[in-house]
Structure 1
Amino acid sequence: MNFDLTDEQEMLRDTFARFLDEHSSTVRVRKAQETAGFDAGVWSGLADLGAFAMRVPEDAGGMDLGLFDAALLMEEAGRTLVSGPLAEALVAARLLGQLGGQDALLDQAMGGQAVVTIAMHDIAAKPVQWIAGGAVAQAVVARRGAEVVLVTVSGSAEANLATTPIAEIDLASGETAVLGSGEEALATFAAAVEEWKLYIAVSLSGIGRQALKMAAEYAGERKAFGQLIGTFQGISHPLADLLCDVDGAKFLAWKAIRDIYDGSAEAGPAISLAYWYACDAAARAVAQGLHTFGGFGLSSEYDIHLYNLRAKGLPLVAGDPALMLEEAGRRLYAGEVPALPASGEVPLDFDLGDEARQVCAELAELFATKVTPEMKAKFHYSWEGYVPEVHKMLADHKLLFPGLPEHLAGRRISPYARIAAMGELERQGYNTPGANVAAMVAMMIDKYGSDELKADVLPRITGGDVLCSLGYSEPSCGSDVFAAQCKATQLEDGSWRIDGTKMWTSGANLSSYVLMLTRTNPDVPKHKGLTMFIVPLKTEGVTVQAVHTFQDERTNITFYDGVVIPDSWRLGEIDGGVKTMSAALELEHGGGFSKVMKAMIEAAVELTGELGIAGEVRTQCRLARSVAHLWISDMLTYRAQWSSVEKKPNHAFGPMAKMYSSEKFLSDSRDLLDLTAPVSLSRRAGPAGFLNQCYRHAAGTTIYGGTSEVHRSMVAERGLGLPRTRG
């Protein structure tokens, strides 16, 4: 797996970033508005840096760089609001190089002396079109029926939403030269349009991210009611949501580029979804950014409005972006196969490797040969899916805790193979909370536990003999775990007496131990007087009472009345529970719900087929939207995993992955339930019952493992640099 750029790409991006920071400042962008939104100096400078030759084939005098290289430029161009039709010029220059016959014009285009752009629609059917850069272009590459033509025509600048050099042009009135004809030429042109969609997607992501950055900086300086407005969750949380969205839009484009390189059938729909999603995400990001500035955001003196207008003005030359969602639906579910551009080399890699595949194959074989239908019938996403025989079998094969280090898991495999193994367990339906929590407690004991715990308790956990539960939440504090009041009092002999109540201690009815956060000092601020313990649940003074949820799962409330444990069962320092607890919480962050989201979509596809609505546009659009959310959830999770394994700076990537996927799981489960109504009301076996269960299951995913609000605060603080929003 790799999210890193090559050294050459780092240099390329940095070179363009430095140039654009200096020459496409908002001062220059405003100045360019006086010349219809075109900056000839920036254009010439980009040509000097080789921008317009990047995608031109070598045999036509270009650099023949990859899609990803050009995408890096386009993201910087979006961030700095480049004044000119850059995306269109890149694909037009490549078309001139591919189709040939216009060497002089191509040289001028690569040298920045001429602006060549493209028409989005067949001019045989629609001769009068809005053309990006039409007000400054010397020529337009267009499709005309079965031909690809070059039209030499000029357009007049017209006042428009974002002050860009677009123009409405009658392309039938210009001088025309045929560049190519027939299927091959048309496929080349169609691939260029797909390439344009990718460039617009990453450019919009750059616009949206910069708008969020500006808003976050302002919110970290502006005060209202005596407080920095960035401390208000009403300000910070929407920005955190939108950071996931604009990053997700870019990652959809990155996925599409990698899919093209791999020859994946997902490439075509990924392009359409990247474009559609970026249009929506950027529009919402710039609107929220402007809103953060309040009344000042409406003032033309503040730069945020430039991003607001450009985000909407950039893509609309091609028409309604919602049409791209329909296109994605056809590509996913109606067999539409687009022509695609060549990708060139792609450094991105989302594959976990051969070792990962081998471990997954071993797990699949175990489940196929060792797990009976009766055992599988007990599988469930909740604690009630715990099957002792399966749990022990996995431990015996050193595959119960693949995410743990070798000395705990018993098997030496790479971090990526461990990730894949956990995914395979989920695919098999046995990635239960019981195993995941046991792994977490094992790591906590290994890191903070006494010799006694490591000798007596840890082997029972890693051997698959017992389960553990988590005692964090309490009836009065919920996700504010550091407000715990469950009391631990040290006795004269050094042992501890524990009294109090814990809520949502899922699995306590099946577990032997609970990892518990307690209050050991009530006279200091809430974060300073906490201590963590391992508490045996099958001991005098512990009462476990069932709490059933509408999700078809059982959790518990647990009562502790004079429970006495030795000091050796303490984890970490006395009153040092925050440090210990923070390490435990970090282990919870980073997982997503992609596997169940994928299964949910597959069930919806099956059910819409049974209902006879699979061919309807509304059905394809709704399913395609869910696929976009699934793929973004995958990509955000990959980034979190990669950054953790490779020890990269982590700007709340784990919380982003968990929060985004849980929220989209919830909204999509609701939408797919609507789509397949009324049969989805039923809890009958099959796809209808599964969709019904997904809707009920999804509600809890935004709560356990840290609520979405907690994760939004983390994203706001660590991802956007906003001031702390939590007490």
Structure 2
Amino acid sequence: MNFDLTDEQEMLRDTFARFLDENSSTARVRQAQETDGFDPALWSELAELGAFSMRVPADAGGMDLGLFDAALLMEEAGRTLVSGPLAEALVAARLLGQLGGQDELLRTVIAGEAVVTIAAFDMAEKPLQWIAGGAVAKAVIARRGLEVVLVAPAGGTGKAEANLASTPIAEIDLTAGDIAVLGAGEKSVSLFAAALEEWKLYMAAALSGMGRQALKMASDYAAERKAFGQLIGTFQGISHPLADLLCDVDGAKFLAWKAIRDIHDASDEAGPTISLAYWYACDTAARAVAQSLHTFGGYGLSNEYDIHLYNLRAKAWPLIVGDPQLALEEAGRRLYAGEAATLPDSGDVPLDFDLGDEARQVCAEIAEIFATKVTAEQKAMFHYSWEGYVPEVHKLLAEHSLLFPGLPEHLSGRNITPYARIAAMGEMERQGYNTPGANVAAMVAMMIDKYGSDELKAEVLPGIVGGDVLCSLGYSEPSCGSDVFAAQCKAVQQADGSWRIDGTKMWTSGANLASYVLMLARTNTEVPKHKGLTMFIVPLKTERVTVQAVHTFQDERTNITFYDGVVIPDSWRLGEIDGGVRTMSAALELEHGGGFSKVMKAMIEAAEELTRELGIAGEVRTQCRLARSVAHLWISDMLAYRSQWASVEKKPNHGFGPMAKMYSSEKFLSDSRDLLDLTAPASLSKREGPAGFLNQCYRHAAGTTIYGGTSEVHRSMVAERGLGLPRTRG
């Protein structure tokens, strides 16, 4: 897996970023708006850096760089609001080089001496079209039936007129100018169609850059602006929407990245991913700039503040080809109606989202075990919750050293490299064996191994790693929820050194199945709350522990547990006295920033099956809503991949784990609601099959936004780590 750029791409991006910071400043953007929205000096300077030759074939005098290289330029162009039709010029220059016959025009385009742009629609069907850059373009490349033609607009260029973002667009009658045929036949038309797909990817990259910069501006403002005596960035009403949009903006970029990689791999997902990347970026950028402007309050409406420039251009740039919702319909057809897309060449792509050969081998081994050694009766017991624990399967996986792939070899029984570990956990989920019990047991085993006494390592650890016992977590309490540092369950040391534990723990899922609970207890009331906690291993199978069931509407059991004078030896303490917070950090070694994409995928597949049964699979509304869920699924995957990659490769991590978990759980919830609507009233039923599964997903999804910390907690983490906002909680 790789999210890194090559050294050459780092240099390319940094070069354009520095250049555009200086030469496409908001002052220059404003200056260009006073005329026709075009900056000819900037255009010439971009040419000197090789911008317009990037995608031109080498045999036509170009650099023949890849899609990803050009997308990096477009992200910086969006960030700096480039004054000119750059995306259109990139694809037009490539077409001139591919089709040939216009060597002198191509030379002037590469040199920045002339602007050539592209028309989105067949001029035989739509002769009058809005053209990006039409007010300054020397020529427009268009399709005319089975021909690709070069149109020199009547009067030299189109007529400039006032428009939403003061860009050099123009409405041009393409039949009124001089026309030269560049190419005819299927090959030429295919090259033109591929150019339009390329344009969508460039626009997605540009909009993601624009949206991220708007969020940065809003965050910087919120980190210095005060209201009611406090920085407004501390208000969750300000920070949480920005955190949500950061996930969306990065997700839009990663969809474009996925599309480029899919093109390179000749994946069937390439065509729909292009459509979804473009649609999602259009929607996300519009929402990101609107929320960012709102963060500035009344000042955001003032022409003196630059944020309004982003608000206007985020809407204006893509609307030149019409309603972005049409791209969602296109994605639906490509996913569900067999519509093919003509794809551009990708060139070299450094991005790699593959977990590797070892991961495939481990997954195949797990699949073989479930196919040959797990019975149908055992599979019938599987459930996403703790109640899906099957002791025989748990033990079977331990015997094959596959129960704890995230643990080091001396605990798990085999050396599985990090990406293969990630794949192994995903494969078990794909098999339907969701293992919260195994995940918690792995965490407890890690902590005992790192902080436990010799007695714990001899008496408790072998049973955990051998797959014979489970462990539960005793963090939350009825009065403090996610604020685990406010725990009041007391541990008082006795004269002989042992500890007496009294109190209550809430949400101790699996306590009815487990032998031990990993407990965070209050050992000191004279210090700040987070400094007076200690971690213990506490046996659950004792008469001084009461486990009371708490059933949820999700078909899930959790528990409230009561501890009435439970005495344990000091050797069952983990870490230092009052050092429980430091001890908890060991659990972070197992954090890979995953989400809920496996169940999201299963939910979409169930919805697809149910829509076929209901006879609505061919309807546009059905295809659109399924396609939207697919976009959320793929973004969930990409955010998780980034988090996992950053963790494994020890990269700077700006809240990537919380972003992956929060986005995935929130989209699982919203999509489960929408797909329930789409398939109603059949989805009301709990009958076995796709309807019952969708029904369960709707109920399950609510809990995912709470497990492991609520979405609100994760939004605060994303705001602080990803956007640099001040703390939103005490």
CA displacement 1:459-503 (0-9 Å, x = unmatched): 211111110101111111111111111111111111111111011
- Which residue, out of 635, 639, 644, partners 1:641? 644
1:615 equivalenced with 2:618 (yes/no):
yes
1:316-335 paired onto structure 2 within 5 Å: 316-335=319-338
Secondary structure of the corresponding residue to residue 35 of structure 1: coil
Shift of 1:582: 4.1
1:685 equivalenced with 2:682 (yes/no):
no
2:185 and 2:712 mapped to 1: Cα distance? 55
- Aligned equivalent of 2:180: 177
Secondary structure of the corresponding residue to residue 530 of structure 2: coil
Shift of 1:416: 0.7
- Aligned equivalent of 2:101: 101
- Aligned equivalent of 1:64: 64
- Aligned equivalent of 2:241: 238
Shift of 1:643: 0.5
The gaps in structure 1 that reach 5 residues or longer are none
1:168 equivalenced with 2:164 (yes/no):
no
CA displacement 1:107-154 (0-9 Å, x = unmatched): 100110000000011111111111000111100000111111000111
- Aligned equivalent of 1:293: 296
1:4 equivalenced with 2:10 (yes/no):
no
Letter in 2 for 1:719: G
- Aligned equivalent of 1:483: 486
Shift of 1:35: 2.3
Shift of 1:581: 2.6
2:722 and 2:414 mapped to 1: Cα distance? 35
1:219 equivalenced with 2:222 (yes/no):
yes
Letter in 1 for 2:16: F
8 Å Cα contact 2:522-2:532 kept in structure 1: yes
Letter in 2 for 1:160: N
8 Å Cα contact 2:54-2:64 kept in structure 1: yes
CA displacement 1:280-300 (0-9 Å, x = unmatched): 000000011011111111111
Shift of 1:532: 1.2
- Which residue, out of 248, 251, 256, partners 1:248? 251
1:128 equivalenced with 2:128 (yes/no):
yes
- Aligned equivalent of 2:373: 370
- Aligned equivalent of 2:657: 654
Shift of 1:525: 2.1
8 Å Cα contact 2:383-2:434 kept in structure 1: no
2:359 and 2:280 mapped to 1: Cα distance? 31
Letter in 2 for 1:167: A
1:246-285 paired onto structure 2 within 5 Å: 246-285=249-288
1:29 and 1:621 mapped to 2: Cα distance? 37
Secondary structure of the corresponding residue to residue 359 of structure 1: helix
Letter in 1 for 2:68: F
- Aligned equivalent of 1:229: 232
8 Å Cα contact 2:471-2:517 kept in structure 1: yes
1:113 equivalenced with 2:113 (yes/no):
yes
- Aligned equivalent of 1:625: 628
1:502 and 1:395 mapped to 2: Cα distance? 29
1:558 and 1:471 mapped to 2: Cα distance? 9
Higher mean Cα deviation, 696-705 or 408-417? 408-417
Letter in 1 for 2:248: D
1:548 equivalenced with 2:554 (yes/no):
no
Letter in 2 for 1:241: D
Shift of 1:540: 3.6
Structure 1 vs Structure 2 CA RMSD: 1.0
- Aligned equivalent of 1:564: 567
Higher mean Cα deviation, 563-572 or 673-682? 563-572
8 Å Cα contact 2:406-2:590 kept in structure 1: no
1:121-520 paired onto structure 2 within 5 Å: 121-153=121-153, 154-520=157-523
8 Å Cα contact 2:446-2:586 kept in structure 1: no
Percent of pairs with identical residues: 86
Secondary structure of the corresponding residue to residue 529 of structure 2: coil
1:567 and 1:114 mapped to 2: Cα distance? 80
- Aligned equivalent of 1:75: 75
TM-score w.r.t. the length of structure 2 is: 0.99
8 Å Cα contact 2:470-2:516 kept in structure 1: yes
Shift of 1:708: 0.4
- Aligned equivalent of 1:598: 601
TM-score w.r.t. the length of structure 1 is: 0.99
CA displacement 1:639-670 (0-9 Å, x = unmatched): 01100000000111011000000000000000
CA displacement 1:85-108 (0-9 Å, x = unmatched): 000000000000011111100010
1:546 and 1:431 mapped to 2: Cα distance? 21
1:39 equivalenced with 2:42 (yes/no):
no
Letter in 2 for 1:279: C
- Aligned equivalent of 2:30: 30
1:532 equivalenced with 2:535 (yes/no):
yes
Shift of 1:411: 0.6
Higher mean Cα deviation, 31-40 or 369-378? 31-40
- Aligned equivalent of 1:669: 672
1:63 and 1:672 mapped to 2: Cα distance? 47
1:278 and 1:474 mapped to 2: Cα distance? 41
CA displacement 1:169-222 (0-9 Å, x = unmatched): 111111000011111111110000000000000100000000001111111101
Letter in 2 for 1:212: L
Secondary structure of the corresponding residue to residue 314 of structure 1: helix
8 Å Cα contact 1:445-1:453 kept in structure 2: yes
2:307 and 2:15 mapped to 1: Cα distance? 25
Shift of 1:455: 2.1
Secondary structure of the corresponding residue to residue 544 of structure 1: strand
1:528 and 1:211 mapped to 2: Cα distance? 39
8 Å Cα contact 2:388-2:434 kept in structure 1: no
1:572 and 1:217 mapped to 2: Cα distance? 40
Secondary structure of the corresponding residue to residue 129 of structure 1: strand
Higher mean Cα deviation, 234-243 or 476-485? 476-485
Secondary structure of the corresponding residue to residue 600 of structure 2: helix
The gaps in structure 2 that reach 5 residues or longer are none
CA 502–589 in structure 1, closer or farther in 2 if over 3 Å, else same = farther
8 Å Cα contact 1:589-1:658 kept in structure 2: no
1:444 and 1:718 mapped to 2: Cα distance? 26
Shift of 1:451: 2.2
1:452 and 1:482 mapped to 2: Cα distance? 27
Letter in 2 for 1:162: A
2:445 and 2:559 mapped to 1: Cα distance? 22
Shift of 1:584: 2.8
- Which residue, out of 576, 599, 603, partners 1:573? 576
Shift of 1:517: 1.0
- Aligned equivalent of 1:49: 49
2:588 and 2:59 mapped to 1: Cα distance? 56
Letter in 1 for 2:391: P
CA displacement 1:335-378 (0-9 Å, x = unmatched): 00010000001000001111111111111111111101111110
1:564 and 1:585 mapped to 2: Cα distance? 29
8 Å Cα contact 1:131-1:166 kept in structure 2: yes
Stretches of 4+ aligned residues off by more than 3 angstroms? 585-589
2:324 and 2:640 mapped to 1: Cα distance? 27
Secondary structure of the corresponding residue to residue 527 of structure 1: helix
CA displacement 1:577-617 (0-9 Å, x = unmatched): 22223443674561200000000000000000000000000
8 Å Cα contact 1:240-1:715 kept in structure 2: yes
8 Å Cα contact 1:116-1:137 kept in structure 2: yes
